[in-house]
Each structure stands twice: as C-alpha cells, then as structure tokens.
C-alpha cells in the first residue's frame, strides 16, 4: 500500500475528530482501532442480525422464569457471595406488593467466525484469498453457501449488562469509510461498509421506555409528573467515558425533552441523602424524578466493595424506575444459563422446537458443560467424560467463569492447571467448559500500535446490538406477556492474534462481501400494549 505513513497519520487524526477516544485518568487518547474494516461474509452478518430478536426474547423469557433461575442459582449462591447478594435482592423485590413490570434491554450478542479445523485445504486457500485482507475482498462478490463452506457463525456470549461500544461503533463507520477513501477504494466499495445506528437506536429505546414509564407511573399520590430523567450509573474511574457520552449525545439530540444524569454508586450512598423513594416507590435523585436507570457499572464483585453499595443497588432495584438491566436480567446473564440453553432440551423450555428460531439459535451454540451433575443438565458420566477430554486435549476447550464480567478464561496448559486446582478444592460450581472456537484470522493495521504501518494478524469478533422493551405479568407467572420494541444493529471488535487469547482489543467494523446494503423496518402488532418494531 503506497504512502501508508501519510494515510495512517491522517486516519489517526480522523479517529480523534470522530471522537473515537478513551480516558485514562486525566489523559485522553485515541481508542485502539483498525485502519480498515475487516472482511466478513454478508450471509453470516445478515443471519446474525436476523436472529437478534429471537435472542432478545429468549433471554427475556429466561429472566421471567423463576423456576428455571432458581434451579440453577440455588447451587451457585452457596459458593458465591456476589451471586448470593444478587439473588437476595431479586427475592426481596419479588415479594413487594408493587414492582415495575416494564423491562428495558440494551443487549449485544457476540460471535466469531469459526473455521472448521478439518476444512478442505483447497477451500481454505480460496477463502483465505477472498477474506483475509480487505484489499482482496473488495474484488469479490461471493455470497453463496459454498463460498463460505467451512466457516460457521458461533456465539461467544450474549451480553445484557453494560453492552459497550454502541457509541463508538456508530462513529467507526464514518471513520472506516474515510480510511477506505484515503487508500484509494472505489465509491462502490465504501457502501459495502454496513450502516450502524446502534447509539441512535439505543437512545430511541431509552426514550420509549421513559414514555412508557410516565404513562404507567407518572401519576402518584403525591402528584403527577410529565418529565422523568435517564440516569446512567458509571465507574468513578471510567475509561470508556466517550462511548457512554456518544450514547447520551444521541439521546439528548434526538430527544431533547428527556433530562440525563450520570452518577456513581458512591454518589448515592445513604449517607449522602441524594437518593430518595416516595410512597409509591418512584425514584428521585438530587430532587429529580428518574424514569430509567441505565447501568454501565455494577456487574462484578469488585464493583460492590461494601454493604453501603449493595444497599444502593437494592434501593434502585426496588424503585419503580425501569432498570437496564433489571436484577432478573443480571441473573440470566451468566455463563451457567448460557451453558444450560445450549442443551436442546433446555432451550425447548422457552422456544417451540418446531419454530425456525429454535434451530437457528441452536446452530450458533458451541457445546458447553458444567463440572457437576448438581444442576441437572448432565449426568455424572457425561461430566466425568468431558473433564477427562478436557485434561487430555485442552487445546479443544475453554474454561470460563460462570459469572459475567469478561475475560479470565483459561486455555491450553493454564486450563489444565486451573481445572485440576478446582477439582482438588471441590469447586464444581464457579466455571463451565466450552468447546473452543477456532476463529478465522484476518490481517489489518492498528492505528494505535507502535508501528501503525505494520500488518497484524487478528481475530474478529462480531457484535449485534439489540434493544428490547418487554412486559411481565411478573411475579405471578413465568410467561412473557408481550414484546414492545426491538431494534438491532452491528458492531465488531478485532484483536491482534495471540494464541493464549490474552488479546488487546481494537475497534473495527465489518466489511461485507457484497454490494447489498440498506435498512429494513418491519412492524408487528402483538397481543399486548404496544407495537413491535425491528430496525436492521
């Protein structure tokens, strides 16, 4: 590529101009991002988008099933103080005479393009030629099943809590189109970078939630209210502040009548007197009425250093404000639940096996296993066999903590050491085993690397954003009443290749291998209060 030094210099300035930044203390610097979008088969991208609504509804149903959650959590809470606190808050809220039955989910489903290790070498060479580098992929319009035979979309995880990068992903589209222009790509090539309106869609979902809240909770014994704020809970040392700010910027520009607030747990400790609930459990912070609480913090034990912080969490959950996510969603957002749903018999509890969505969702799951038969998901013989396989062929598996929070996965020799340690300690509840994915490797440039002109091998991770507003006749029933609003969009992360999978994350966007693009809007009328809307 000619003049790469000049191109990367301009691209770095464009990244700053587009607000693709991170914060480290008082220091502001560019967020790690790739020079170009990475190639990705349009067929796989569209399939991931098409099933996002099914995943949103699936986890909404799971969160509403007390019997299902209890069957799994009763074994965990004996060994995990963090999960015990969450379960205690959940049960206390369930027993209230009045609770919020409107639930907002701002979710992200993460995938990798798994490459079959037994792929025909000739097909692998052909795919490498078309998919490995952006320059080569721009010459192809491959879009048939055979073109990508041997590449399978596999879900890494489903995130219902603090689904980050919706703000940056929307901005990276313009960034990558500018970089493609700098590199001499044609105008036809630029439109193959898919649109991403994740921040706008999330903002619209928040605004819809506020409207529903005011309709249901605006009137109270102490008077009526026509205004309610969205409050974001963040870390006091937040490095991803610009992604959060991009989301709030969309909310403020698209819905200027909705006030926004940013607070930490410490701001709301009881000793400050800033958090109050009225007789109808409506939430007020610093005297302002709050309709939606959006958590970008509070999903690992370190976020709750004391009982004061746990009490803030409880007060927010028991309030009539709509929580994103609510405590039920947090319980559903564990690797243990995802391992359970990967079993066809468990998935069938929530989705009719005769429906296409059942087979579509199941096709994205890698096999997952628990380390004990106590959960009723596997018998002891199956557990013993998978542990044996894991110890003899660790390169085929990943050991993952069942709690949400990201990272802390074990591979290869580290997996063997950790698994043996868990077995010796009798800890069969904190981790799950998952079949290892072998993602397709692409090549790209990283603007924030010491040498941005050096080509890196990377693993791409595709993320599909989905916004969901659902209703429960909860807690009397485990059945979902209706679905109000869904939106979906796309983002992806790419990582420089490291075989131990201790990866440095770098923001990028997929480059579809077709010139087809656009937005489809579908509207449905369910049996419920609102209309379902899908944005692609």
Say which residue the tokens 């087979």 belong to: 359
Widest Cα–Cα separation across the chain: 73
Whether 270 and 383 map to the same domain: the answer is: no
Q: What is the mean pLDDT of residues 191-218?
A: 93
Closest listed residue to residue 204, CA positions, set 469, 511, 477: 469
- Residues above pLDDT 70, as percent of the chain: 84
Tell me the sheet residues that pair with 273.
none
Residue 324: CB atoms within 10 Å = 30
Q: Tell whether residue 408 is among the known ligand binding residues.
A: yes
- Going by pLDDT thresholds of 50, 70 and 90, the confidence category of residue 431 is very high
pLDDT tens digit string along 331-387? Answer: 999 999 999 999 999 999 999 999 999 999 999 999 999 999 999 999 999 999 999
Predicted pLDDT of residue 511: 60
215 is in an annotated binding site: no
Same domain? For 207 and 312 the reply is yes
Q: Is 218 annotated as a binding residue?
A: no
In a domain, 459, yes or no: no
Residue 533 is predicted with a pLDDT of: 30
Banded pLDDT at 222 (limits 50, 70, 90):
low
**187 pLDDT higher than 50:** yes
Is 129 a known ligand-binding residue?
Answer: no
Across the range 230-250, mean pLDDT stands at 95
Same domain, 218 and 318: yes
Confidence of residue 534 (pLDDT cuts 50, 70, 90): very low
Best-predicted range by mean pLDDT (392-406, 411-425, 448-462) = 411-425
* Section 409-413 average pLDDT: 95
Q: Which two tokens stand for residue 176?
A: 């990558």
Please say if the pLDDT value at position 522 is more than 80: no
Is residue 241 in a domain? yes
**Do 229 and 294 have their domain in common?**
yes
The pLDDT, as a whole number, for residue 482 is 30
210 located within any domain: yes
Work out whether the CA dihedral 311, 312, 313, 317 comes out positive or negative. positive
Pairing of strands 27-30, 441-445: unpaired
Higher pLDDT, 205 or 535: 205
Most confident range (mean pLDDT) of 228-237, 454-463, 517-526 is 228-237
Residue 400 annotated as part of some ligand binding site: yes
Query: Domain range spanning residue 208?
Result: 197-324
- Tell whether residue 381 is among the known ligand binding residues: no
> Which of 240-244, 319-323, 489-493, 524-528 shows the lowest per-residue confidence on average (mean pLDDT)?
524-528
Among 436, 460, 487, residue at a domain's last position:
436
Lowest-confidence pick of 115-129, 149-163, 441-455, 476-490: 476-490
- Of 32-36, 64-68, 146-150, 515-519, which has the strongest mean pLDDT? 64-68
- On whether residue 460 sits in a domain, the answer given is no
**Does the annotation list 335 as a binding residue?**
yes
Q: Is residue 102 part of a domain?
A: no
pLDDT over 50 (residue 490): no
Q: Do 299 and 212 reside in the same domain of the chain? A: yes
Domain co-membership, 202 together with 310:
yes
Least-confidence region, from 155-164, 241-250, 261-270, 469-478? 469-478
Residue 411 lies in a domain: yes
Beta pairing, strands 38-40 & 510-512: parallel
Q: What is the DSSP code (8-state) at residue 410? A: B
Asked if 208 and 280 sit in the same domain, the reply is: yes
The enclosing domain of 387 has a CATH number of 3.30.1490.50
| Counted domains in the chain | 2
Same domain, 207 and 317: yes
Residue 406 known to bind ligand: yes
CATH number at residue 317: 3.40.50.1760
- The whole-angstrom separation of Cα 53 and Cα 292 is 22
* pLDDT at residue 528, as a whole number: 35
Residue 231 lies in a domain: yes
Q: State what percent of residues in the chain have pLDDT above 90.
A: 63
Give the residue-averaged pLDDT of 319-341.
96
Residues with Cβ < 8 Å from 97, sequence gap 6 or more?
Answer: none
Q: DSSP 3-state helix, strand, coil percentages of the chain (rounded to 5)?
A: 40, 25, 35
Encode pLDDT of 438-488 as tens digits: 998 889 999 888 898 899 988 888 999 999 998 865 333 333 233 333 444
Angle, alpha carbons 159-163-168 (nearest 5°): 140
Per DSSP (E only), the strands in 342-454 are: 368-370, 397-401, 431-435, 441-445
> What local confidence, expressed as pLDDT, does residue 536 receive?
30
How far is the C-alpha of 124 from the C-alpha of 136, rounded, in Å? Answer: 15
Based on the fold, state whether residues 212 and 308 are members of the same structural domain: yes
Q: Lowest-confidence range among 121-135, 437-451, 492-506?
A: 492-506
Lowest mean pLDDT among 250-264, 363-377, 395-409, 458-472: 395-409
Domain boundary among 417, 436, 455: 436
Q: Is residue 160 part of a domain?
A: no
In terms of domains, do 247 and 308 share one?
Answer: yes
376 annotated ligand binder: no
pLDDT bin (cut points 50, 70, 90) of residue 494 is very low
Q: Is 343 marked as a binding-site residue?
A: no
- Residue finishing a domain among 324, 346, 377: 324
Answer whether residue 149 shows pLDDT above 80: no
435 is in an annotated binding site: no
Report yes or no: 199 and 246 within 8 Å, Cβ to Cβ: yes
Residues 319, 243, single domain; the answer is: yes
| Pair (385, 299) in one structural domain | no
Mean pLDDT over each residue of the chain, to the nearest integer: 85
- For residue 527, how many other CB atoms are within 10 A of its CB? 6
Tell whether omega for the bond before 467 is within 30 degrees of 0, i.e. cis. Answer: no
């Amino acid at each position: 590529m000619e003049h790469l030094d000049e191109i990367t210099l301009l691209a770095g300035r464009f990244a700053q101009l587009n607000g693709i930044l991170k914060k480290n203390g008082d220091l502001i610097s560019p967020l790690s991002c790739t020079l170009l979008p990475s190639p990705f088969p349009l067929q796989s991208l569209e399939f991931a988008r098409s099933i996002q609504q099914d995943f949103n509804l699936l986890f909404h149903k799971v969160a509403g099933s007390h019997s299902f959650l209890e069957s799994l959590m009763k074994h965990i809470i004996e060994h995990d103080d963090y999960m015990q606190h969450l379960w205690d808050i959940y049960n206390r809220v369930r027993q209230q005479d009045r609770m919020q039955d409107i639930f907002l989910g701002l979710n992200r489903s993460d995938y990798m393009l798994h490459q079959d290790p037994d792929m025909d070498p000739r097909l692998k060479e052909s795919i490498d030629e078309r998919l490995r580098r952006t320059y080569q992929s721009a010459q192809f319009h491959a879009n048939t099943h055979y073109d990508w035979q041997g590449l399978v979309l596999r879900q890494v995880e489903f995130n219902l809590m603090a689904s980050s990068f919706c703000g940056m992903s929307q901005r990276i589209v313009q960034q990558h189109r500018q970089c493609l222009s700098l590199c001499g790509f044609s105008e036809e090539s630029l439109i193959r970078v898919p649109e991403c309106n994740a921040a706008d869609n999330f903002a619209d979902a928040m605004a819809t939630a506020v409207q529903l809240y005011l309709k249901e909770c605006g009137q109270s014994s102490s008077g009526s209210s026509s205004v309610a704020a969205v409050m974001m809970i963040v870390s006091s040392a937040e490095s991803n502040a610009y992604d959060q700010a991009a989301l709030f910027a969309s909310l403020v520009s698209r819905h200027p009548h909705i006030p926004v607030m940013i607070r930490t747990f410490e701001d709301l400790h009881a000793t400050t007197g800033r958090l109050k609930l009225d007789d109808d459990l409506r939430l007020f912070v610093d005297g302002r009425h709050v309709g939606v609480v959006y958590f970008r913090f509070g999903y690992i034990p370190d976020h709750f250093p004391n009982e004061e912080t746990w009490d803030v969490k409880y007060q927010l959950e028991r309030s009539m404000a709509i929580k994103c996510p609510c405590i039920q969603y947090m319980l559903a957002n564990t690797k243990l639940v995802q391992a359970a749903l990967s079993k066809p018999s468990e998935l069938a509890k929530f989705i009719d096996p005769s429906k296409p969505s059942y087979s579509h969702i199941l096709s994205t799951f890698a096999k997952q296993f628990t380390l004990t038969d106590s959960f009723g998901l596997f018998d002891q013989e199956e557990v013993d066999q998978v542990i044996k396989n894991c110890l003899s062929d660790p390169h085929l598996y990943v050991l993952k903590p069942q709690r949400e929070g990201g990272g802390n996965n074990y591979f290869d020799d580290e997996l063997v050491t950790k698994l043996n340690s868990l077995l010796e300690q009798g800890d069969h509840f904190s981790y799950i085993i998952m079949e290892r994915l072998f993602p397709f490797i692409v090549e790209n440039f990283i603007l924030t690397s010491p040498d941005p002109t050096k080509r890196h091998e990377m693993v791409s991770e595709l993320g599909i954003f989905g916004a969901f507003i659902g209703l429960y006749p909860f807690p009397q029933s485990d059945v979902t009443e209706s679905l109000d609003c869904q939106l979906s969009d796309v983002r992806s992360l790419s990582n420089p290749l490291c075989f131990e999978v201790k990866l440095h994350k770098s923001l990028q966007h997929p480059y579809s291998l077709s010139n087809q693009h656009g937005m489809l809007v579908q509207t449905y009328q369910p049996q419920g209060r609102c209309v379902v809307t899908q944005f692609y």
